[in-house]
Structure 1
Amino acid sequence: MADSVISLVIGRTVDLLHKKSVFLKDVRRQVEGLGNDLEWMRCFLKDAEQREDEDARIRNWVSLIRAAAYDAEDVIEIFASKVEFFTRNKGLITKLTYYPLKIVNLYTIGKEIESLQMRLNDIADRREKYGIRNLEEGMSSRGEEFRRLRRTSPFSEDKDIVGFEEITKFLVAELLKQDKNRRVVSIVGMGGAGKTTLAKKVYNHADLRERFNCRAWLCVSSSYGHKEMLRSIIKQLNAVDNKLLEMLEKMDEQDLERRLYQDLQDKCYLVVLDDVWKEEAWDCLARAFPDVNTSSRLLITSRNRGVPLHADALSIPYDLKTLGQEDSWQLFLRKALGHGDNAWCPLDLEEVGREIARRCDGLPLAITVVGGLLLTKKRLKSEWEKVLNSFNTNLSRSQSGVSAILELSYADLPPNLKFCFLYLGLFPEDYMISVRKFIHMWAAEGIMQKRDAQNLEEIAAYDLEQLFSRNMVQVAEMTVDERIKSCRVHDLLRELAIRKAEDENFFQIHDTRYDKISAKSRYLAVHILPRDTNYFWTSTPPLRSLLFFNVHVDREDISLSFKSFRKLRILDLENVKMPYNLPKEIGKVRLLRYLSLLETSISRLPHSIGCLRYLQTLDIRNLDPVIVSNFIWKLESLRHLYASDIKCNVPLKIEGLKNLQTLLGIRFDHIMHNNMMTLTSLQKLGIVVDDRSEIDKLCMHLSEVGSLKMLHLYRARGRYRWPSVAGLSKLHHVTELKIYGAGLRMLPPDFPPNLSRLSLKYTDLMNDPMPILEKLGQLSFLKMKDAYGGPRLVISRHGFRQLKFLELDLLCDLDEIMVEKAALPQLQCLRIRDCRNLEKLPEELKHISTLDTLELVDMPEEFISRLDADMVSSVPNLRIFDSRISQKKRRLSFYSWRRMEGYA
C-alpha cells in the first residue's frame, strides 16, 4: 500500500489547494512547499510496496511518510473549512468581527506546516540512516516467487477434481460448436476458485484432442512479456532444436507474430491463455491468431471479466462459482486423507473436518492448502482441532498457496482500488454489505481517481464494479434487473485486507471487549464494544472513519467526544441503541461527510448539524419520527437524506439544495412550501401524506422537476386514511412509483405515463388490481406485498405487454391466479412469496417462452408437492427456498429444482 495511499492523499491535497485557493492564498507558499516535499518523498516509493513486506525498516519508514501525508491533508482541509466559515456569506461587520480569529488560524496553520516540514526532513534523514536507497532497482524475491507460483502447464492435471463434471461438459460443447469463425470461450472467477484446474481438464478432454489438430497452452500472468509469450507458443507447435531457438531469439515482435500466424494459418487450433489479467495482454497476441474459417478456438481464464469480453464481445464468460458444501467435503477428504475416489473420514474426525472444509468457503485452493497441511499430521482429533483454531494463520503462511495467489490479485489493483478493497475489510466476517450504502461511504471518502462533483456516486459505483469484475468482492444479492444489491468479501480475502491494513496502522477492528484504540488509527470499526467505560476518552486518534456494527450502548457513561474527532469524515452508528440523543458537539465535526443514524433510538437532531457544510449523506431512518429544527437548507453539500418521517414545527426549508439527489421521509406540507424546481439534481423523492394531503396539487407542484425519476408515497402513521391519489398522470418524468401504507382501497385513477416500475405495499385493495395495471404500457416491474385482500387475480389475454418481473408477496387470502393465453409475453421472472392459501400455479406459465426464473419463497410444503412436472421442466431456473431459517441453513435449502430427485 506504500505508494498507493500516499499518491492518493497527495492528489487530494493538490485538489484542495486549487478548490480552496481563495481561502488559502495567505499560506499558499507554505502549502506548495509541503506538497513539493511529499512529492519528493514519493520518488523513493516506486517499488517499496513489495519490499516493505520483507524489510521492517522500509515498512516503518513508509508508515512515517503516510502519517505525514494524512496530517498534511487534515491541516489544509480543517484550516480551509474554518476560514470559509468566517468569511462565506457574511456581511462586512461580521467579517471584521471574525478577522482576529482568521489571523489566529493563519498563525496556527503556519506553525503546523512548519512542524510537518520538520517531520519530513527527519524522515529524509532516516532514509539515509537506515540505508534505504534505490528502492526502484531490481525485483524483490517475493515478487519472483509470486510469478513462479503462477506458471502453469496442461500436463500436471489434478486428479482430485470434484464438482466440475457438468461444467466441463458445457465448456467442451462450447468449444465444439459448429462455427467456422475463430471464437473465444472463457472462464472467470476469483483467485483460487479452480479456473486453471478446470481449464486443464477441458484442454485434455478426449473430444478436443480429436477435434483440434494443433494445441498450445500459455500461462500469461500479470507480468507478461510479449516476445516470450509468442516464443512459448511457437515452441509448442514445432520441433525444438538449436536452430529454431537461435532464430527465435533474433526475431523482433513483428517477426514472431508473423511466424506464429503462419504456423496456425491452415490449422484448426485450440490455444489456452491461462491467467490473463489485462486487456493489453490479449491485444499483444490477437494479431497472431488467424481467423480464417478453420473453426479455431481460444480458451481464456481470468479474474477480470472485462478481459474475455474485450477478446470476444459475442461470447459470454462462464462465471466459476465456489464449490458447494458436499463437493467441498469430498475434495477435502481427498486432499487431507489421500484416499482418492475412495475417500472416507474416521467418525471422530468428521465433525472437526467438516468445520474446516466449511471455513474454506468453497474455495478449492484453500481446501487444497489446508488439506495438504493435514496430510502431514497425525490423524488425531486434537491435531485437526489445532489446525482449525489457527485456520487463517496456517493458510496465510502457506507461501505456495492461498496467500501468494490472493496477494497477486491485490498487488495488481490500481491505488484507488487497493484503498477500496482495504476499506471493505472493516466490515464483519460474512457481513452483507449494502452496495448503496458503501457507494455513499466511498463517495464521502473521496478516494476516487476522478473526483467529478456531479458524478461521485457513479465513480464510486464504478470502483466497486471493478472489484467485482476482478473477483475481489462477491455478489451476495442481485435485484431483478440484475443490479448488485449487496456484496460480501470472501473470508480469505478479508483476512488479506486486514493483514495488509493492520501492518500499516491503516485501520483497526475491535472485535473483543479488551481492545484499545491506537493513537495512530485513521479508520476504526467497532464490532464489540470494549468494557472500558472511558473507551473514547483514553486517546484522541486522528480518526477519519468510525463505524459501529450491531453495537448496543446500554451505559450512559459511554459517550462520543466529538471534540476529539474533528478529522472525522464518516460516522456510521447504524443499529447502535444509544440511551441519549446526539450531542450538540456533533456540529464541531466540520469535515463530516457521511452520518448514519439508521435504526438508532435517536429521536431528535441538534440544530448544530446545520454547521456540517460538507455533509453529503444523512440517514435518520427510524421507527418513530425524528424531530429536526429548520437547518436542512444549510447543508449545501447534501446529496442524500434518508428518513422515515421528519417532524419540524415550521415548514422545513429545502429549496436551493442543488446537489440533493435523494430526499425520503419529508411531509407533504413541507414539500408544498418549497420551490421544488430549485432542486435541480433531485431524482428520488419520498413523501409522507395524510388524509388532508392534496395529491393532485402535489403532482402539479412536482411536474416541472425534470430530474425526478422515482416517487414514493407513504401514509403517515396514526389514524389517517389515504387521500385521493389523483393527478399522477402529470408526472411525465417519473418512471418508478411506490405506494406504501394501509387504508388504500382503490388504485389511483391514473398513473405516470412513462411508469416502468410499480410497488404496492401494505395497502388494502379489495378489487382485483390486474385489469387496471395490465394496461400500463411501459410497466416492466410490478411488486405487490400485502397489498390485496381478495381471493383471485386474473391477467387477461395480451395483458402486461412489457412486464418482465412480477412478485406477489404475503397475499394471504389469494388462492387462485389465472393467466389467459398470450398474457405476459415478456415475463422473465416470477417470484411468489408467502402466499399461504395459493392452491397451484397457473397452467399458462408453461407456455410463456421468455420465463427464465420461477422463485417460490416460504411457500407451504403442500404447494411444493403439487407442482406439475411439465411446469418444472418448462422453466430453466426453478428455485425454492425458505428465508425464515438461518443464513447458514438457507444456503443449503436454496437449490435448483433440476437437481431434485425425480427431475434430474
Structure 2
Amino acid sequence: MATGVLTLVQKLGSLVTDEVNYLLEVKPEVESLHNELMLMTAYLKDADAMHNKCERVKEWVRQLRELAFQAEDAIDVFVYQVMQKRRDGFVWKFTKYPKLLIDAHNLRRKIEDIKVKIQKLSDLKPTLEIHPFEEGNSSAQAHQLGTSGDKNFPYIDVVGLQSEAEELANLLMQEAPLGRFSVVSITGMGGLGKTTLARKIYNRGDVKRHFDCQAWVYISKEYKMRDVLYKIIEQVMVLSEAEKVALASMEAGVLETRLSDFLKEKKNYLFVLDDIWATEDWDRLKGSFPVPRNNQQCRVLLTTRDEGVARYADPIASPHKLQLLDEDKSLELFLQVIFKSPVDRDAEASLNEEMKDLAKKMVAKCDRLPLAIVVLGGLLSTRRRTVVAWKNVVDSVNWYLDSSNCHKALALSYVELPSHLKPCFLYFGLLPEDTEIQRERMIRLWVAEGFLEPRGNLRMEDVGGECLEELMQRNLIQVAKWKSNGEPESFILHDLLLNLATSEARKGDWIKGGLEMLKGLRELRVLGGEDGLMDIFGEALYRALANLVSLEVLYLQDYGIGGLLPSFSGHAHLYEINIVGCINELPGLPWSLTKLRLACTHLMEDMMVTLEKLPNLKELILDWHPYEGVVMRCSATGFPKLENLTLLYFDWLKYWVVEEGAMPNLRILEMNRLFGLKWVPGGLKHITTLQKLTLVMPKEFLERIKEGGEDWQKIKHIPSIIPWEVEIPEINAQHLDDMENRWFTRTGEVIPDDH
C-alpha cells in the first residue's frame, strides 16, 4: 500500500517547516528527500490501485514502502539523538559535538543511498504500464463525497423485512407469559440481515412504549460477563459520571445484584443479545439476569448464526430463520443502495436495458447475500452512472471473482477503495469482534497514525470525519449509535467485513514469517494465556522484542517467560507500552515513552523510583494489583511532564509520599480502591495544575477529604473533586496490618511522614 510513503511525506514536510528545527545541518538532504517522494506519490496511488492485479507492481510498491520505512527510521533516530542532547542542555553550537557531527554525516549517506534507490524505482515506471484512475474513481471525486454537506446518511434497509419485523414485534409484546424468559430468536448465516431486522424491531415506537426499559448488547466470541452487565446497566439506568467510573471497575456479581435490584421495580423490559455463538453463552447470560416476578415480562430478542443455539434458548418456540434474497429482491436492494434520494429514484426508473443488465450481472456475483449486495452497491454509488463506468466495475468483478463467491465481492470493495481510505478501513481490523468505537476516538487514532492527508484549510479532525463519511457511503462500516443532531456517534464493523480488514492487513509486508524477522514492525500485541504457546515461543519472542527497535506501540498480556522482559531503553520510537500480567521487575524503558499502563504486574519494588525519571511520560495507568508494596514515593523532581495518573486497586498500599515539586503538570488524578491508604499525599497541595480528582475510596478515607476534614486543605484548590464510597474487601481488611509489618521487617524502612 501507499500508506507508508504518504505518511513519511507528511512527517518530512512537518520536520522541514518545524520552527524548533531538530534537523540542524541535514535539513537540505531531508528537504530533497521530501521533494523526491512528493513527485512519486501521485504515481504511487495509481500503482496502489493495481496492487492486487500485478505481481510486478506489487513488488514495486513494496520496495518503495521499504525505502520509506528505512528513511523514517534513520531520521527518527537522528531527531531522537538531538532531542536527548537538547534535553540535557548540550546542543548550543552543533559543531562542538563530534558525535552529532558523525550522526549527521551518517544520515546524509543513508539519505543519498535511499534517493539513488528511489531513482532506480522511478526509472522502472514506464515498464510497469500503470495507468491513472479513470475519472469516476479518482481520489478527488472520493474526497468530494465527504464535502457535499449531506449529513443525513440513509439507513440502508434490507428489502422485505417490514412484515417480519411486524410479526416478531407482536410476538415480543404479547401478554401471555412464556416461561422464565420469552425468547424470540433470529437465525441465519452472517450477512443476511439478522442485526438489521433486530434493530428495526428494537427501534419501533410501539416496542419502546410497551417496555419500561430496554438494552442492546453485542455478544462477541470472547465476551466478558462484567462488560455485558455494565452495558445493560448503562442503558437502563440514569448514572452520573462518578457512578459510571465506579461501576466500570465492579465485579460481575456486584453488577448483577445492582441490575436485579433496579429491574424489580419495572413491569416490562427487553434485552437484545446480538450474535450469540454457543449454548454455553446463553446459559451464562440467562443465569445473570434476574428472575421475572409479579407478572413481569422479561423479553429477550436473540440473534445467532447457529440454529441449535436458538432452539436451546427456547425449545418450544421456533426460531425465525432468515433466507437468502431471491433475484428480484436482490436487484431491488442493489438499486436501493445506489439510488438513495427521491431524485435518484427517478433516475433509477430511467435506467436503460443495458445498465439494468449490468446491474443484474453484478448482483449475481453476490450469491443473494444482502451484505455483499449492499457493499457492492455502495461501491457503485460513488461512480458515475454511465454504461462505461459500470462496465469497468463489471470487468473488475469478473477479474476478481473466480466463481460466484460473495466473500470475494466484499474484497473487491476494498480493492476499489481510493488509496487514502485503505489504511483507514484496515485500522478497523485492529478492533476486537463486535467492538463499538466512538467517532472521535477513531479519528484521533487515525491522526496519531498519520493516515490522514491534508485537505486545504480543513483541520485533521474534519478530514477524518470526511473519511468516515466516505466509508459509510460505501457501506463498509455501520453506525452503531446516532447523535440527536443526526450525526454518527459510534461505529461498528460487521464481522465479515472485520475478517476482510484483518485478512487484507495480513497481506502487508511487515509479516514475513518468524518472530525474529519482523524488523520493521511498528505495533505489536501479544496476547498470551493458558494454552502453552508462551512455553513454545517465549524465548523467540524475548529475542524478537529486544530487536524490534522500530516499535512504536507494544501491548503484552500474560507474557509468561518467568516474568522476564528485555530492555526497551534503546527503542527510540516506542511511545506507548501496555503490560498486563505478572512480571518480576520493570524492564528498561525508553525516554521516548509518553503512555504506560501496568496491570496485574504484582511488582514487589516501588516502580515510581524508575517511572518518575521518564522525561516525556504524560499518561500513567497502574491498575488491578500492579504493586504489592506498602510504601510508594514520588520525589521532588519526578514525572516532569505527567498529565494523567490513574491508581486502581492497590491491595496493600498504605503510605503514598508525594514530595513538593513532583508531577508539576498533573491535570487528572484518579485514586480508586487504594484500600489501605492512610491519607491524601501532602504534595498534592503544591500541584496547581490539578483540575480533576476522582476518589473511589472507603468511607473512612472520604471523611478526611470533606470540608473541615484532616486532608481538606491538601485538595481544596482542585476545581473538580468526585468522591465515591466503596467497601474494603474482607480479605484486605483482615491482612492489611500483617502485610504492613512484613513490609517494614523485610525492607528495614521506617514509617514515612506525610509531606
Question: So what's the TM-score if we normalise by structure 2?
Answer: 0.52
Who is 1:541 aligned against? 548
Distance 1:408 1:162, change over 3 A: same
- The residue type paired with residue 371 of structure 2 is L
Distance 1:704 1:35, change over 3 A: same
Query: Which string of whole-angstrom CA distances, capped at 9 and with x for unpartnered residues, describes residues 553-582 of structure 1?
Result: 333275334256433233333xx3234232
5 Å matches for 1:841-856? none
5 Å matches for 1:460-609? 472-473=476-477, 489-506=493-510, 517-528=517-528, 529=533, 531-532=536-537, 533-538=539-544, 540-548=547-555, 551-556=557-562, 559-563=565-569, 565-573=571-579, 576-583=580-587, 585-586=588-589, 589-602=590-603, 604-605=606-607, 607-609=609-611
Q: Secondary structure at the match of 1:534?
A: helix
Who is 1:13 aligned against? 12
- The residue type paired with residue 695 of structure 1 is K
5 Å matches for 1:749-898? none
Q: 1:695 aligns with which of 697, 706, 717?
A: 706
Distance 1:471 1:582, change over 3 A: farther
Distance 1:435 1:719, change over 3 A: farther
d(CA) in 2 for partners of 1:396, 1:76: 43
Who is 2:163 aligned against? 165
Superposed displacement of residue 26, structure 1: 2.9
Distance 1:42 1:436, change over 3 A: closer
d(CA) in 1 for partners of 2:428, 2:615: 27
TM-align CA RMSD: 5.6
Superposed displacement of residue 53, structure 1: 1.4
d(CA) in 2 for partners of 1:654, 1:450: 41
Who is 2:681 aligned against? 670
5 Å matches for 1:162-561? 163-166=161-164, 325=305, 329-331=321-323, 364-365=370-371, 401-405=406-410, 407-408=412-413, 411-412=416-417, 415=420, 418-430=422-434, 445=449, 447=451, 472-473=476-477, 489-506=493-510, 517-528=517-528, 529=533, 531-532=536-537, 533-538=539-544, 540-548=547-555, 551-556=557-562, 559-561=565-567
- The residue type paired with residue 657 of structure 2 is V
Query: Which string of whole-angstrom CA distances, capped at 9 and with x for unpartnered residues, describes residues 177-200 of structure 1?
Result: xxxxxxxxxxxxxx97779x99xx
CA contact (8 A) 2:64 2:121 kept: no
CA contact (8 A) 2:643 2:668 kept: yes
Superposed displacement of residue 421, structure 1: 3.2
Who is 2:111 aligned against? 116
d(CA) in 2 for partners of 1:122, 1:507: 23
CA contact (8 A) 2:374 2:475 kept: no
Superposed displacement of residue 81, structure 1: 3.0
Who is 1:830 aligned against? none
d(CA) in 2 for partners of 1:482, 1:561: 49
Query: Which string of whole-angstrom CA distances, capped at 9 and with x for unpartnered residues, describes residues 357-380 of structure 1?
Result: xxx9x97335999xxxxxxxxxxx
Distance 1:328 1:9, change over 3 A: farther
CA contact (8 A) 1:477 1:486 kept: yes
Who is 1:650 aligned against? 657
Superposed displacement of residue 625, structure 1: 4.8
Q: Which has the higher helix share?
A: 2
Distance 1:366 1:128, change over 3 A: same
Superposed displacement of residue 56, structure 1: 1.8
d(CA) in 1 for partners of 2:22, 2:713: 43
CA contact (8 A) 1:618 1:641 kept: yes
Distance 1:632 1:419, change over 3 A: farther
Who is 1:788 aligned against? none
Query: Which string of whole-angstrom CA distances, capped at 9 and with x for unpartnered residues, describes residues 136-193 of structure 1?
Result: 53549999xxx9xxxxxxxxxxxx97644356999xxxxxxxxxxxxxxxxxxxx977
d(CA) in 2 for partners of 1:431, 1:100: 53
Distance 1:445 1:366, change over 3 A: closer
- The residue type paired with residue 8 of structure 2 is V
Distance 1:580 1:112, change over 3 A: same
Who is 2:49 aligned against? 50
Who is 1:343 aligned against? none
Paired residue total: 493
Q: Secondary structure at the match of 1:536?
A: helix
d(CA) in 1 for partners of 2:501, 2:443: 19
5 Å matches for 1:68-147? 68-88=67-87, 90=89, 102-129=97-124, 131-132=126-127, 135-137=130-132, 139=134
Q: Secondary structure at the match of 1:591?
A: coil
Question: So what's the TM-score if we normalise by structure 1?
Answer: 0.44
CA contact (8 A) 2:526 2:559 kept: no
Query: Which string of whole-angstrom CA distances, capped at 9 and with x for unpartnered residues, describes residues 560-605 of structure 1?
Result: 34256433233333xx32342322x11xx23333333234444642
Query: Which string of whole-angstrom CA distances, capped at 9 and with x for unpartnered residues, describes residues 687-730 of structure 1?
Result: 65754723216667656555x4x7244669589999xxxxxxxx
Superposed displacement of residue 328, structure 1: 8.5
Distance 1:474 1:112, change over 3 A: same
- The residue type paired with residue 331 of structure 1 is Q
Ranges in structure 2 where 5+ consecutive residues have no aligned partner: 143-157, 169-189, 198-300, 308-318, 328-365, 376-399, 734-755
Superposed displacement of residue 61, structure 1: 2.0
d(CA) in 1 for partners of 2:543, 2:553: 15
CA contact (8 A) 1:547 1:571 kept: yes
Query: Which string of whole-angstrom CA distances, capped at 9 and with x for unpartnered residues, describes residues 797-835 of structure 1?
Result: xxxxxxxxxxxxxxxxxxxxxxxxxxxxxxxxxxxxxxx
Query: Which string of whole-angstrom CA distances, capped at 9 and with x for unpartnered residues, describes residues 658-688 of structure 1?
Result: 5845655597623663334324xx4564465
d(CA) in 2 for partners of 1:601, 1:459: 43
- The residue type paired with residue 491 of structure 1 is D
d(CA) in 2 for partners of 1:503, 1:424: 15
d(CA) in 1 for partners of 2:523, 2:96: 31
Q: 1:622 aligns with which of 615, 621, 624?
A: 624
Who is 1:885 aligned against? none
d(CA) in 1 for partners of 2:619, 2:668: 10
Distance 1:18 1:367, change over 3 A: closer
Superposed displacement of residue 621, structure 1: 1.2
d(CA) in 1 for partners of 2:497, 2:422: 12
d(CA) in 2 for partners of 1:44, 1:127: 10
Distance 1:562 1:466, change over 3 A: farther
Query: Which structure has the greater CA radius of gyration?
Result: 1
Superposed displacement of residue 73, structure 1: 3.1
Structure possessing the higher relative contact order (Cα contacts under 8 Å, 6 or more residues apart): 2
d(CA) in 2 for partners of 1:167, 1:60: 50
Distance 1:42 1:660, change over 3 A: farther
d(CA) in 1 for partners of 2:480, 2:609: 39
d(CA) in 2 for partners of 1:468, 1:632: 51
Ranges in structure 1 where 5+ consecutive residues have no aligned partner: 148-159, 171-190, 199-320, 336-359, 370-394, 723-904
Q: Percent identity?
A: 21
Superposed displacement of residue 497, structure 1: 1.9
CA contact (8 A) 2:48 2:419 kept: no
